[in-house]
């Protein structure tokens, strides 16, 4: 199996071009094997690039634990770069089919290669049952989420209930604002939020420290992968949650461990747009 390793702001995946070779068998097991950072290639998951009947290409993605996911903003930027750089479609405007629908990509070309990609991520899903959560209502803003497993090491003793805001960008997100980012929040609370009973399909957990109305620092615990260096859909969710809670404006710069992403939630068409880098690391063959 020929593959290419790529990353968007450090959110790294193994990519397989299914235009030139048949899709591998047993994709969940393959995703687990190639994602292993000690015995495999190493990555946050597996992404396949397929032909599409309705777009320039189709993205199919699996998390590191083998579970299939609907969308990945950082992964989608890399799909756009691969499609252009490898000659599958040499247009600077692409339409890519994903589990969240067909999305539009604007590619920034420099010296014949793609360095940065802007994605129209579409409208955020805000209704509780559609995200999905067990909460009902048109928006889930500052909802009370009780920690079921007792006090978490390193956190104040009175932290037993979180105020969370939930958004779907084709995949579900739960945003928590904190005074200061720490491992106790991300590594301690993140897995509990991912598997909490309020989220029937599990959830990605974002922890956010607001720096100004136009800037935030964040870390993400991704369902099926654990903490990643960046999460594009998570950054989009943070942009939307910032507006819903009155903490930030409609355009923000998000600082993630793997790099910065620019987000904008348009008042005109209600679409969220994500801009960030896409990098090819190497290509090889998996025996």
142-196 pLDDT, tens digit each: 999 987 655 455 555 555 789 999 999 999 999 999 999 999 899 989 999 999 9
Position 151 scores a pLDDT of 47
146-155 pLDDT, tens digit each: 876 554 555 5
For Cα atoms 274, 279, 281, give the angle at the middle one, nearest 5 degrees: 150
Q: Which domains does the chain have, with CATH numbers?
A: 2-121+275-285 (3.10.310.10), 128-270 (3.10.310.10)
pTM equals 0.90
| pLDDT at residue 203 greater than cutoff 90 | yes
Query: What is the arithmetic mean of pLDDT over 189-206?
Result: 95
Report the chain's mean pLDDT, rounded to a whole number: 94
Percent of the chain at pLDDT exceeding 70: 96
- Structure confidence at residue 241 as a pLDDT band (50, 70, 90): very high
| pLDDT at residue 117 greater than cutoff 70 | yes
Percent of the chain at pLDDT exceeding 90: 91
Catalytic residues: 72, 231
Position 157 scores a pLDDT of 53
């Amino acid at each position: 199996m020929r593959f290419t390793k790529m990353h968007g702001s450090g959110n790294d995946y193994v990519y397989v071009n299914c235009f030139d070779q048949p899709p591998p068998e047993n994709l969940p097991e393959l995703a687990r094997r190639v994602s292993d950072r000690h015995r495999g290639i190493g990555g946050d998951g597996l992404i396949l690039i397929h032909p599409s009947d309705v777009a320039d290409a189709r993205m199919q993605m699996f998390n590191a634990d083998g579970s299939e996911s609907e969308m990945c903003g950082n992964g989608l930027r890399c799909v756009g770069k691969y499609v252009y750089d490898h000659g599958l479609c040499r247009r600077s405007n692409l339409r890519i089919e994903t589990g969240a629908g067909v999305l539009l990509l604007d590619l920034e070309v420099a010296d014949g290669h793609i360095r940065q990609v802007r994605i129209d991520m579409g409208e955020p899903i805000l209704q509780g049952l559609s995200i999905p959560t067990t909460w009902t209502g048109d928006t889930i803003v500052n909802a009370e989420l009780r920690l079921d497993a007792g006090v978490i090491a390193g956190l104040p003793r009175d932290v037993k209930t979180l105020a969370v805001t939930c958004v779907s960008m084709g995949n579900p997100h739960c945003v928590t604002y904190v005074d200061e980012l720490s491992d106790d929040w991300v590594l301690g609370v993140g897995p509990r939020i991912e598997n909490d009973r309020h989220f029937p399909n599990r959830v990605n957990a974002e922890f956010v420290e607001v720096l100004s109305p136009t800037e935030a620092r964040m870390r993400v615990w991704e369902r099926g992968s654990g903490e990643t260096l960046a999460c594009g859909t998570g950054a989009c969710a943070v942009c939307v949650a910032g507006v819903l809670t009155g903490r930030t404006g409609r355009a923000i710069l998000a600082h993630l461990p793997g790099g910065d992403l620019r987000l904008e939630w348009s008042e005109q068409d209600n679409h969220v747009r994500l801009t960030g880098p896409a990098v090819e690391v190497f290509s090889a063959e998996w025996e």
